[in-house]
Amino acid sequence: MSLDDRIPNNVDLHTDRRLQKALEQWQPKFLDWWMEMGPEGFQTKDVYLRTAISVDRDGWATFDHVKMPDYRWGIFLTPEERKRPVGFGDNPGVESFEEVPGEFRNPLRRLIVTQGDTEPASVEQQRLLGQTCPSLYDLRNLFQVNVEEGRHLWAMVYLLHRFFGRDGREEADEMLARRSGDPDKPRILETFNQPIKNWLSFFCFTMFTDRDGKYQLGALAESGFAPMRRTCQFMLTEEAHHLFVGETGITRVLRRAAQLAKEHGGDVKAGGGIPIEMVQRYINYWFSYSLDLFGSEISSNSSDYFAMGLKGRFDEEKKYADHSAREGFLEVPVVEDGRITIRQTPLRNAMNECLRDDYIKDCEAACKRWNRALEEEGAEQRVTLPNRRFHRHIGEYAQHKFNSAGELLTGPDAAARVAAELPNAEDEAWVGSLMKAVTKPGAFANWIAPPKVGINSMPADFEYVKL
Ligand code: BYC
Ligand code: FE
Ligand code: FE
């Protein structure tokens, strides 16, 4: 098999012997990791997957039944038609960096490692879910997400191997050594150490946590470091499907809850579904954990990244007129003397919060669509997003307790009041009890409505995974 068949790419891999060697040494280690930590129990099955074999329209989404270990994890950078200068920060307008400027080496490496680490982490978090899939359609979507997160790891490992020499090779090996949830060698960001025990959590994760990916990648897709910018742009094209899986997954759970409530006099559990208020608690959990991923509200790191032209705001080029962000403030609520007050924060130090703002708006729009579905099903209940201060582990609010309305809680029952709005042991047991594999083509578990259309317009009873 030729090099380009083994590692499909549009980075002229065959002309760079050193890089080729580094990647060829890393590839078997990646495969070992995939066999050990990837989806358990399905590695020899044929799965109807979309594979990117080139960046153009026909090549980036070819569908075929393949075994996951035979998936071609490739390296693709979105081509750029025009020369884009550095778009923001202290030196806007200078030529984009094609190599890593010495003074940016450490921060850039940190960003790449942090981004890269999340990709295998999520595969590890999801590795047992296949055994309880609600349908072959959902099983296939899980595996599609998993192989693409594997490809996103390749994208970051390419940057490490190509631009960071020996350090980069060591970091690439570390990506395969850390383990989600392992107390001795955990993944870097805490959200990626939280177990995903059931499919409701999986849908919340792909809805909320993969959506952090959309915003972080969006900010990095503005980078003055051109290879980073271009690789993140291509990753975003794949991300859209992950977000689709999450949002529509939750819609289908809510629809089914509403239908079962009607059939069973309001008692969703009697009908074998997941009650809407229970779904709400899972939303509360994963939304708040995903908000942590934007970092501190007030952050000098984020200011440095922006000043260096490495990480911008979402849609920096299109959306903003002033790309220096030297002037202006963001009003950040903080806790002082036991109450919430506003702190005027210089814009550059509030870059994490700017990104989080855009993210929250996006989530709110999805929440509206869920409520429209509930309305269509004739349900009275609605779901909401908790306030951004609720249940946080990172940033200004981590040291305090807030309820889902964002009110500061004091007193001995504060922790219990927070816990009351999160999934409890009974919820976990109930949702867990519903997780039984449904693998007949066209059939769906009772707790979830079928999707509106199949993947790649396939018929309802299509055999997405051949078991
Ligand atoms: N957990 O100023 P701060 C995705 C650390 S998701 C633990 O607050 P900063 C995907 C921070 O590292 C997208 N630690 O934060 C989704 C720092 O440590 P040091 C992932 C955290 O640096 C689903 C300290 O706290 N991509 O792709 O401004 C499936 C204070 O730093 C956390 C990226 O994250 C946390 N949650 O920003 C698959 C992009 N948050 O210096 C994939 C790259 C902060 O004290 N990363 N800390 O050792 C970044 O841009 C930034 O590192 C962060 C944090 C936004 C994460
Ligand atoms: Fe990803
Ligand atoms: Fe993703």
Q: What are phi and psi of 336, to 5 degrees?
A: -135, 135
- Mind listing the pLDDT tens digit for each residue in 127-144? 999 999 999 999 999 999
pLDDT band at 58 (very low <50, low <70, confident <90, very high): confident
Q: Whose CA is nearest to atom 19 of ligand 1?
A: 301
Residues whose beta carbons lie less than 5 angstroms from ion ligand 3? 210, 213, 242
The conformation of residue 206, written as its DSSP 8-state character, comes to: I
Q: What are phi and psi of 223, to 5 degrees?
A: -55, 150
Amino acid occupying residue 74? G
Q: What is the pLDDT of residue 62?
A: 87
- Mind listing the pLDDT tens digit for each residue in 101-134? 999 999 999 999 999 999 999 999 999 999 999 9
Rounded distance between C-alpha atoms, residue 369 and residue 358, angstroms = 17
- Mind listing the pLDDT tens digit for each residue in 318-368? 999 999 999 999 999 999 999 999 999 999 999 999 999 999 999 999 999
> If residue 48 lies in a helix (H) or strand (E), which one and from where to where?
strand 46-51
Task: Please answer whether residues 459 and 48 qualify as being in contact, where contact means their C-beta atoms are separated by less than 8 angstroms.
Answer: no
Task: Please answer whether residues 310 and 451 qualify as being in contact, where contact means their C-beta atoms are separated by less than 8 angstroms.
Answer: no
41 alpha carbon to ligand 3 midpoint, in Å?
22
Q: Whose CA is nearest to atom 25 of ligand 1?
A: 295
Residues forming a β-bridge with 342? 333
CA–CA distances in Å: residue 176 to residues 146, 160, 163, 253: 15, 14, 19, 34
232 alpha carbon to ligand 2 midpoint, in Å?
10
Rounded distance between C-alpha atoms, residue 20 and residue 26, angstroms = 10
Of residues 158, 164, 131, 6, the one with CA closest to residue 76: 158
- Mind listing the pLDDT tens digit for each residue in 414-440? 999 999 999 999 999 999 999 999 999
Q: What is the pLDDT of residue 81?
A: 86
Rounded distance between C-alpha atoms, residue 429 and residue 438, angstroms = 19
Task: Please answer whether residues 264 and 275 qualify as being in contact, where contact means their C-beta atoms are separated by less than 8 angstroms.
Answer: no
Q: What is the pLDDT of residue 56?
A: 81
Rounded distance between C-alpha atoms, residue 139 and residue 47, angstroms = 9
CA–CA distances in Å: residue 14 to residues 19, 30, 53: 9, 20, 16
pLDDT band at 5 (very low <50, low <70, confident <90, very high): confident
Task: Please answer whether residues 94 and 77 qualify as being in contact, where contact means their C-beta atoms are separated by less than 8 angstroms.
Answer: no
Enumerate the domain spans of the chain. 3-466
Rounded distance between C-alpha atoms, residue 235 and residue 412, angstroms = 46
Mean pLDDT, rounded, of the chain: 96
Can you state the angle between helices 136-163 and 105-125, rounded to 10 degrees? Answer: 160
* Total residue length of the chain: 467
184 alpha carbon to ligand 2 midpoint, in Å?
24
Q: What is the pLDDT of residue 9?
A: 94
- Mind listing the pLDDT tens digit for each residue in 267-320? 999 999 999 999 999 999 999 999 999 999 999 999 999 999 999 999 999 999
Q: Whose CA is nearest to atom 17 of ligand 1?
A: 295
Give the CATH H-level superfamily of domain 3-466: Ribonucleotide Reductase, subunit A (1.10.620.20)
Lowest-confidence pick of 5-14, 196-205, 429-438: 5-14
Q: Whose CA is nearest to atom 20 of ligand 1?
A: 115
**Percentage with pLDDT > 70 across the chain:** 100
> If residue 453 lies in a helix (H) or strand (E), which one and from where to where?
none
Residue to mutate (ligand 1; options 109, 308, 353, 394; most atoms within 8 A of CB): 394
Q: What is the pLDDT of residue 55?
A: 81
| Mean pLDDT of the 371-395 span | 98
Asked if residue 266 has pLDDT above 80, the reply is: yes
Q: What is the pLDDT of residue 83?
A: 86
The number of the ligand 1 atom at minimal distance from the alpha carbon of 212 is: 6
- Ligand found nearest the CA of 189: 1
> Please, which contacts does 413-420 make with residues 24 or more away whose CB atoms are closer than 8 Å?
418/390, 418/391
Burial degree of 93 (CB within 10 A; 0-12, 13-18, 19+): exposed
187 alpha carbon to ligand 2 midpoint, in Å?
15
Q: Between 5 and 311, name the one with better pLDDT.
A: 311
Q: What is the pLDDT of residue 376?
A: 98
Structure tokens at 234: 């291509």
Strands 465-466 and 408-409: unpaired
316 alpha carbon to ligand 1 midpoint, in Å?
20
Asked if residue 253 has pLDDT above 80, the reply is: yes
Of residues 32, 21, 24, 29, the one with CA closest to residue 6: 24
The number of the ligand 1 atom at minimal distance from the alpha carbon of 112 is: 43
- Ligand found nearest the CA of 152: 2
CA–CA distances in Å: residue 53 to residues 7, 59, 170: 9, 5, 28
Asked if residue 193 has pLDDT above 90, the reply is: yes
Q: DSSP of 49-87, one letter per residue?
A: EEE-SSSSTTTTTEEEEEEGGGS---B-----SS-----
Structure tokens at 293: 């991923």
Q: Whose CA is nearest to atom 50 of ligand 1?
A: 111
Structure tokens at 77: 């950078």
Task: Please answer whether residues 256 and 373 qualify as being in contact, where contact means their C-beta atoms are separated by less than 8 angstroms.
Answer: no
Rounded distance between C-alpha atoms, residue 238 and residue 226, angstroms = 19
Of residues 318, 313, 324, 314, the one with CA closest to residue 93: 324
216 alpha carbon to ligand 2 midpoint, in Å?
10
Q: What is the pLDDT of residue 54?
A: 81
Q: Whose CA is nearest to atom 2 of ligand 1?
A: 299
| Mean pLDDT of the 164-185 span | 98
Q: What is the pLDDT of residue 53?
A: 80
Residue to mutate (ligand 1; options 189, 204, 289; most atoms within 8 A of CB): 189
Rounded distance between C-alpha atoms, residue 394 and residue 290, angstroms = 10
Of residues 208, 260, 179, 160, the one with CA closest to residue 366: 208
Q: What is the pLDDT of residue 368?
A: 98
Q: Any residues with Cβ below 6 Å from ligand 1, and which?
A: 111, 114-115, 118-119, 122, 149, 189-191, 209-210, 212-213, 216, 292-296, 299, 301-302, 311, 352, 394
